[in-house]
A and B are shown apart, each in its own frame.
Chain A
Amino acid sequence: MAATLLRTVVDDLIKDFKQIIDDKQLQKTQVAHWVIMLGNRLLSQHIGKRDSGAYLSIYPDVPITVAAANDAPNVVKGRKHIVLPTCIFDYNMDGGVEYISYYMDSDCVGCPPKFVNQTFTRTTPSDVQRLYFSKYEEPDPKNPYWYRAGQYIYLLGIECVNPKAVEIGIYSTLKPITDPTIDLDAPFNFPEELLIQLKRQVLDLGRFVLVIPEERTNDGVDSDQGKAIPANKLTSVNELSQDVTENK
């Protein structure tokens, strides 16, 4: 499936910047960082608005581990947990995790797919107490729960069984520019219909960033007399999120 490359987006933006402000030094990494930064914002809004699997990332074999010692914060000795494979969007009620499921190895014929075998339900450490008030809700291998603490997902109810791994479906953020595996020539995992919005927002951000230093130059003069007043209107963050043509 052909998709726009990250390099295409970045090069396009650099070309546009050069046409407006040709005397500035613009690093490709800097523009890529802007693209990723604003791309994450648009992508999180896009996912939040739509019931779609387009940006769901499935990791079928995330190993379950048990920490041998406490390591504050968030690592608690003796509790089964997994480490999130990537950064995820921090939606309400840990909505960045679409599902977590586990299965025990078995040669079951005609059974549902393995990933629907035992699905974990989300909870929080403070809510767990209530679960034990009800026989139906208390965590057990057939009714397992998870809660999140930072990059760790703790698993409840599987203390007496020993699955080696879980399957997890998450909504990942775009890889940061510091990620060693980032590839400018890889398809840019971003909604095509929002590329115009992204370009617009990066151009606005770039213009803002490139204009500011001129206004703030320290030339040793203690008076603002004779200084040029910026003629360009800087758009607000709220206006940026709207695709309004008169937003100038």
Chain B
Amino acid sequence: MDLSPHNFVSVNEILADVLKIVKDSSFKLNSKGWYTSQIQQALEELSFNTFFNDVNQSFDIPKNLRLEMPKGAFNLQQVYLFNGDECNIQSSVNVYTKRNFINSKSGNGYVARDKYYNDGDRFHTKRAVRDTSSAVNGLSGDLRGPDNLYYCGLQSGVIMFSPNCRNYQKAMLVYTGIMADIGETPVVPQFFRQAVKDFVLVPALETKMTETVGTNAYGHWAGLKRSYEAKKDQPYTGSWFTAEKRAKNLNSKERQDYKEYFTRLNY
């Protein structure tokens, strides 16, 4: 997301607009916490729909080679191993995903459909290399996977590393983050402001409708709710669609650079 950290809108800014429309400035109908929760849910939905919030975070390689994805993380994009620390990365490697890879709870040994040394498997060929260091008395060494290939599997939010990942101290995960996880105070990117406002207005107006069931005011609030729902969900011009479009159109530099790389063709 390429947006200045100064261009965020606070919860209060959103509420200043929303409360006036639902006539609940004194928080008599819903508490401020309730409105804040709706704002968080709006950002949550936008995060899931647009993947606009890229985050990276580093962790020590766990002893059992199993690392839980951090809270608020989804859509793992990259995994790197490195030595040193975040301020001074000395050496690093990419970690590849290996399908069906599940390591043991202690990190020693693993199962996978293809283990490189596939003795007797008629479908997966033996592709292991000889470990010359283990050669004794002129006999060839053990068969094992390539040393310079680091890989991991992912299951139920747990990243499982291959045994040789112990050669590195830290793992860096790049993932998509939920903009404001449950319990955090949400801050809204300015380009999402209208979408978040409309998103919050719909349930807020629904509570108004619940409150006024059986009264003359019900029709007023129901009409208003329909209006804001339409404003939000209108195809191509609705605030939600616009927000998604904006999120996908961001990062112009990245797009222009790619265009240049792809069109120059090594000339």
Contact = CB atoms under 8 A, between A and B. Distances in A.
Which of B27, B30, B182 gathers the greatest number of chain A CB atoms within 10 Å?
Answer: B27
A135 B30 CA distance: 15
Contacts of A98: 26
Interface stretch (B31-39, B50-58, B135-143, B165-173): B31-39
A138 B26 contact: no
A134 B37 contact: yes
A136 B28 contact: no
Contact of A99 (B26, B34, B36, B40): B26
A136 B26 contact: no
B120 interface: no
Contacts of A99: 26
B26 A134 contact: no
A161 B34 CA distance: 22
Given A119-B26, A119-B27, A121-B27, A143 B32 contact: yes
Nearest to B36: A136
A42 B28 CA distance: 24
A121 B31 contact: yes
A93 B40 contact: no
A145 interface: yes
A239 interface: no
Contacts of B33: 131, 134, 136-138, 143
Contacts of A135: 37, 182-183
A212 to B, nearest CB: 37
B43 to A, nearest CB: 13
A122 interface: yes
A122 B34 contact: no
Contacts of A123: 31
Determine the interface band of chain A, counting residues with CB < 8 A from chain B: 10 to 19
A12 B30 CA distance: 47
Nearest to B185: A136
A137 B37 contact: yes
Interface string B13-50: 00000000000001110111110110010000000000
Contacts of B26: 98-99, 119
Interface string A124-160: 0000000100111110000101000000000000000
A143 B34 CA distance: 10
A98 B28 CA distance: 9
Nearest to A140: B33
Nearest to B35: A136
A170 to B, nearest CB: 13
A136 B37 contact: yes
Given A121-B32, A143-B32, A143-B33, A136 B183 contact: yes
Interface string A83-109: 000000000010100110000000000
Contact of A143 (B28, B31, B40): B31
Which of A95, A99, A137 gathers the greatest number of chain B CB atoms within 10 Å?
Answer: A137
Nearest to B23: A51
Nearest to B186: A136
B159 to A, nearest CB: 27
A137 B41 CA distance: 14
A93 B183 contact: no
A136 B15 CA distance: 15
Interface of A: 93, 95, 98-99, 119, 121-123, 131, 134-138, 143, 145
Given A123-B31, A134-B34, A138-B33, 14 more contacts: A99-B26, A121-B27, A121-B28, A121-B32, A134-B33, A135-B182, A135-B183, A136-B36, A136-B37, A136-B183, A137-B33, A137-B34, A143-B31, A145-B31
Closest 9 CB pairs of A and B: A137-B33, A136-B37, A136-B33, A121-B31, A135-B183, A143-B33, A121-B27, A136-B36, A137-B34
11 contacts: A95-B28, A99-B26, A119-B27, A121-B28, A121-B30, A121-B32, A134-B37, A136-B37, A137-B33, A137-B34, A137-B37
Interface of B: 26-28, 30-34, 36-37, 40, 182-183
